[in-house]
């Protein structure tokens, strides 16, 4: 009688998560990112979300005109204008006390971070849990780097949350140069690269 034996999973097999699990966890992580940010901002600014806007949809009728006359300006419009905005709106003053705004670039970075984090968790947890910390911290830094908000006390337009946090701590007098974000984004990518490299050595 022939007997078949199931070979134990190899390291290569463990690095192949099921697509449904990977995408499902990615969706969960993406939702967690949004909910966590909204809760943190709401608690720090004493007001929950009571207003949602979609600026790109509101102004999308202008996109064809931009595209015909200035394609580059049209691309800048579609990539930098907030696709969705969560806000706490004060009815009496007709002002948004705070907003969290997500443009196309931010949403793409969020999706990338969620997909990468999900892949790391589903494919490497069984091999090296501790070594997951470095790349996951890197994805968290990327999310932080591309998150924008407004707070009526500190800024009029969408501003990187890093600057708003400094204003909230009473620190002012610094220049709003984008190289701060470049430094954070670079640090996040370095941690991701370093973490993945270390994980490869555990196969």
Render pLDDT for 180-201 as a digit per residue (tens, 0 to 9). Answer: 899 999 999 999 999 999 887 7
Task: State the alpha helices, DSSP H only, in the chain.
Answer: 11-14, 19-45, 55-58, 63-69, 71-80, 104-124, 133-145, 161-168, 179-200
Render pLDDT for 48-104 as a digit per residue (tens, 0 to 9). Answer: 999 999 988 877 777 777 778 888 877 877 788 899 999 999 988 888 889 999 999
The model's pTM: 0.83
Q: Residue 163's pLDDT is what? A: 85
Q: Are 153 and 40 in contact (CB under 8 A)?
A: no
Query: Per this entry, what is the length of the chain?
Result: 203
Cα–Cα distance between 172 and 149 in angstroms, integer?
A: 17
Element spanning 101, H or E: strand 95-102
Render pLDDT for 156-185 as a digit per residue (tens, 0 to 9). Answer: 678 889 888 887 777 776 666 678 899 999
Q: Are 12 and 203 in contact (CB under 8 A)?
A: yes
Q: Are 145 and 192 in contact (CB under 8 A)?
A: no
Q: Are 87 and 47 in contact (CB under 8 A)?
A: no
Render pLDDT for 25-54 as a digit per residue (tens, 0 to 9). Answer: 999 999 999 999 999 999 988 889 999 999
84-90 sheet: strands from edge to edge: 51-53, 84-90, 95-102, 148-151, 159-160
């Amino acid at each position: 009688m022939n007997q078949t034996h199931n070979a134990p999973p190899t390291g290569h097999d463990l690095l192949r998560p099921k697509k449904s699990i990977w995408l499902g966890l990615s969706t969960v992580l993406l939702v967690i990112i949004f909910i966590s940010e909204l809760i943190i901002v709401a608690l720090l600014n004493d007001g929950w979300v009571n207003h949602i806007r979609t600026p790109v949809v509101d102004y999308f009728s202008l996109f064809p005109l931009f595209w015909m006359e200035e394609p580059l300006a049209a691309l800048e419009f579609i990539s930098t204008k907030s696709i969705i905005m969560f806000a706490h709106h004060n009815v009496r003053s007709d002002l948004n006390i705070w907003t969290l705004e997500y443009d196309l670039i931010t949403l793409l970075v969020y999706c990338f971070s969620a997909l990468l984090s999900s892949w790391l968790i589903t494919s490497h947890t069984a091999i090296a849990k501790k070594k997951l910390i470095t790349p996951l911290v890197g994805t968290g830094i990327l999310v932080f780097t591309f998150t924008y908000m407004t707070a009526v006390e500190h800024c009029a337009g969408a501003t990187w949350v890093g600057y708003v946090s400094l204003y909230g701590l009473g620190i002012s007098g610094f220049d709003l140069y984008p190289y701060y974000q470049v430094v954070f984004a670079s640090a996040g990518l370095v941690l991701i690269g370093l973490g993945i490299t270390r994980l490869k050595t555990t196969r």
